[in-house]
């Protein structure tokens, strides 16, 4: 009997086993087939089998008489399975035909390749996630819970319409879905009549000034994409459209002394500018958001710096929860404000894509209420810091 079987060599069996990552190749099984044996410190307990895709002997499952004996015992005709599944495929050749087994083998080897060198998922993570789903409470802190939820949510929406990429994130208690079309997508947008006036005004502001259009999501009815329909169907939230006409900018800042003899560079602020048909708005910041500037100019055939507005200011929240003595950049900023108070002028130059677009300076800034308020605040912090020293 044994003579007529085209069995695998030991070497072939070992290769099949290791190429499948010593796991069963049935996609919904994938149990590890190797483990330590109680028989001795060097013994291995193997619950796997190198199964024949087409039978080793005539009369066996999926036997292919066209194959030569060496083809029948070649590694191409083998698949690594746990003992249960090796028996299963041999008892039911109709459910488990050759192409399916080849597909299992290909996928198993592909997964083994992917998994190699990677950490196994922690079983406790899955348990905790289920526990949280069932009780609404997490037993432990799950560091990957939020990123996983974001990924799952993005994958769900992208599956609805692969023409879009979807970013999902949570910020200040609100879930944001930002969708970017990968290609030009046509869709219909209907505005409910109650909101038509508000929408029209905001749409005009988007076109003319590049201002982000934000409206209650119940005002809009989208069709033409399953993703857009889903997003506006159930959600109580805000629907926003922002301009694609957005460019990265650098705002260079420097001070000029009252007699215009001296110049002193301050930091470069980075941000972006949005363009509409009538105006451009550039927002930029530096020092972790501590200083920021907004510049708004009319756009015609020429940029018209005479018809514009600049604002410069501090975001004191950037210093939240800091000790007064350790406020980052305090001395630099205090010095800047003192000089402006003494009559130095703050100058800007705006660069878009490395091209100088315009220069401007703040006139009468030192007399403005916003400056004086910030300066008083800084003066007070300075006094406290000096007092503590
Ligand atoms: Zn199995």
C-alpha 235/C-alpha 182 separation (Å) is 23
Number of neighbouring beta carbons within 10 Å of residue 341: 14
Number of neighbouring beta carbons within 10 Å of residue 146: 11
> Do 165 and 208 belong together in one domain?
no
CA 66–ligand 1 middle distance (angstroms): 29
Q: Summarize the confidence of residues 260-284 as an average pLDDT.
A: 89
> Do 217 and 263 belong together in one domain?
no
Q: Which of 79-93, 150-164, 374-388 has the highest average model confidence (pLDDT)?
A: 79-93
Q: Summarize the confidence of residues 51-66 as an average pLDDT.
A: 93
Where do we find the tokens 């260079």?
252
C-alpha 55/C-alpha 78 separation (Å) is 10
pLDDT tens digits for 96-131? 999 999 999 999 999 999 888 887 766 666 666 666
Q: 168 forms bridges with which residues in the sheet?
A: 177
Q: Summarize the confidence of residues 245-265 as an average pLDDT.
A: 90
C-alpha 364/C-alpha 361 separation (Å) is 10
Q: Summarize the confidence of residues 241-264 as an average pLDDT.
A: 88
Give the CB-side neighbour count of residue 248, counting CA atoms within 13 A: 4
Q: Where in 31-77 does DSSP place strands (E)?
A: 34-36, 44-46, 48-52
Provide the percentage of residues in the chain whose pLDDT is more than 70.
Answer: 89
> Do 214 and 256 belong together in one domain?
no
* C-alpha closest to that of 197 among 219, 228, 223: 219
Where do we find the tokens 């495929």?
89
> Do 310 and 333 belong together in one domain?
yes
CA 16–ligand 1 middle distance (angstroms): 14
pLDDT confidence band for 202 (50 / 70 / 90) = very high
pLDDT of residue 362: 81
Q: Do 299 and 276 meet the contact criterion of CB atoms below 8 Å apart?
A: yes
> Do 227 and 196 belong together in one domain?
yes
> Do 229 and 279 belong together in one domain?
no
pLDDT of residue 245: 75
CA 112–ligand 1 middle distance (angstroms): 15
pLDDT tens digits for 300-334? 655 555 566 788 899 888 888 888 888 889 999 99
> Do 305 and 347 belong together in one domain?
yes
CA 298–ligand 1 middle distance (angstroms): 70
> Do 128 and 110 belong together in one domain?
no
CA 82–ligand 1 middle distance (angstroms): 4
CA 27–ligand 1 middle distance (angstroms): 8
Domain membership of residue 275 (yes or no) is yes
* Tokens describing residue 48: 């796997």
C-alpha 170/C-alpha 95 separation (Å) is 46
CA 49–ligand 1 middle distance (angstroms): 10
> Do 377 and 268 belong together in one domain?
yes
Domain membership of residue 377 (yes or no) is yes
Q: At residue 200, does pLDDT exceed 80?
A: yes
> Do 52 and 86 belong together in one domain?
yes
Domain membership of residue 93 (yes or no) is yes
pLDDT confidence band for 1 (50 / 70 / 90) = very low
Count of structural domains within the chain: 4
C-alpha 48/C-alpha 108 separation (Å) is 14
Contacts of 354 (CB under 8 A, 6+ apart): none
CA 108–ligand 1 middle distance (angstroms): 11
Domain membership of residue 254 (yes or no) is yes
- Counting DSSP H helices and E strands in the chain, the numbers are 10, 17
Domain membership of residue 168 as a residue range: 124-179
CA 97–ligand 1 middle distance (angstroms): 16
> Do 252 and 144 belong together in one domain?
no
CA 74–ligand 1 middle distance (angstroms): 22
Domain membership of residue 5 (yes or no) is no
Domain membership of residue 89 (yes or no) is yes
**CA-based Rg of the chain, rounded to a whole angstrom?**
34
Domain membership of residue 4 (yes or no) is no
Domain membership of residue 130 (yes or no) is yes
Alpha carbon 34 to its chain centroid, in Å, reads: 38
pLDDT confidence band for 150 (50 / 70 / 90) = confident
The mean of the pLDDT values for the chain is 86
CA 40–ligand 1 middle distance (angstroms): 25
pLDDT confidence band for 210 (50 / 70 / 90) = confident
Domain boundary among 223, 241, 259: 241
CA 30–ligand 1 middle distance (angstroms): 6
User: In terms of pLDDT, which residue wins out, 234 or 106?
Assistant: 106
pLDDT of residue 64: 93
CA 124–ligand 1 middle distance (angstroms): 23
Domain boundary among 241, 276, 311: 241
Domain boundary among 134, 153, 179: 179
CA 195–ligand 1 middle distance (angstroms): 59
CA 21–ligand 1 middle distance (angstroms): 13
C-alpha 25/C-alpha 48 separation (Å) is 10
Query: What is the pTM (predicted TM-score) of this model?
Result: 0.53
Q: Summarize the confidence of residues 156-180 as an average pLDDT.
A: 84
CA 370–ligand 1 middle distance (angstroms): 71
> Do 237 and 251 belong together in one domain?
no
């Amino acid at each position: 009997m044994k003579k007529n079987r085209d069995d695998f060599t030991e070497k072939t069996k070992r290769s099949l086993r290791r190429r499948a990552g010593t796991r069963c190749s049935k996609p919904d099984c994938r149990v590890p087939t190797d483990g330590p044996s109680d028989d001795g410190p060097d013994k291995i307990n193997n619950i796997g089998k190198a199964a024949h895709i087409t039978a080793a002997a005539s009369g066996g499952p999926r036997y292919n008489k066209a194959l030569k004996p060496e083809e029948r015992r070649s590694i191409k005709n083998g698949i690594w399975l746990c003992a249960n599944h090796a028996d299963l495929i041999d008892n039911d050749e109709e459910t488990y035909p050759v192409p399916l087994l080849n597909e299992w083998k290909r996928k198993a080897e592909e997964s083994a390749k992917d998994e190699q060198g990677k950490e196994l998922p922690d079983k406790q993570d899955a348990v905790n996630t289920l526990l949280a789903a069932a009780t609404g409470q997490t037993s432990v802190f799950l560091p990957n819970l939020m990123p996983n939820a974001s990924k799952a949510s993005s994958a769900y929406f992208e599956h609805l319409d692969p023409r879009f990429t979807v970013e999902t994130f949570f910020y200040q208690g609100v879930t944001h879905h930002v969708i970017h079309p990968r290609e030009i997508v046509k869709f219909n947008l209907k505005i409910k009549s109650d909101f038509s006036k508000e929408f029209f005004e905001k749409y005009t502001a988007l076109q003319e000034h590049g201002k982000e259009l934000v409206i209650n999501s119940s005002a809009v009815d989208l069709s033409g994409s399953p993703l857009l329909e889903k997003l506006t169907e159930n959600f109580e939230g805000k629907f926003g459209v922002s301009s694609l006409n957005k460019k990265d900018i650098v705002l260079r800042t420097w001070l000029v002394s009252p007699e215009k003899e001296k110049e002193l560079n301050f930091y470069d602020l980075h941000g972006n500018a949005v363009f509409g048909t009538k105006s451009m708005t550039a927002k930029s910041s530096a020092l972790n958001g501590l200083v920021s500037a907004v510049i708004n100019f009319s756009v015609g055939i020429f940029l018209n710096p005479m018809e514009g507005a600049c604002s410069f200011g501090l975001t004191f929240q950037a210093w939240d929860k800091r000790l007064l003595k350790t406020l980052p950049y305090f001395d630099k900023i205090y010095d800047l404000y003192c000089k402006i108070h003494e009559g130095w002028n703050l100058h800007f130059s705006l660069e878009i894509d490395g091209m100088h677009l315009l220069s401007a300076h703040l006139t009468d800034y030192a007399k403005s209420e916003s400056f004086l308020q910030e300066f008083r605040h800084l003066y007070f912090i300075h006094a406290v810091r000096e007092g503590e020293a």
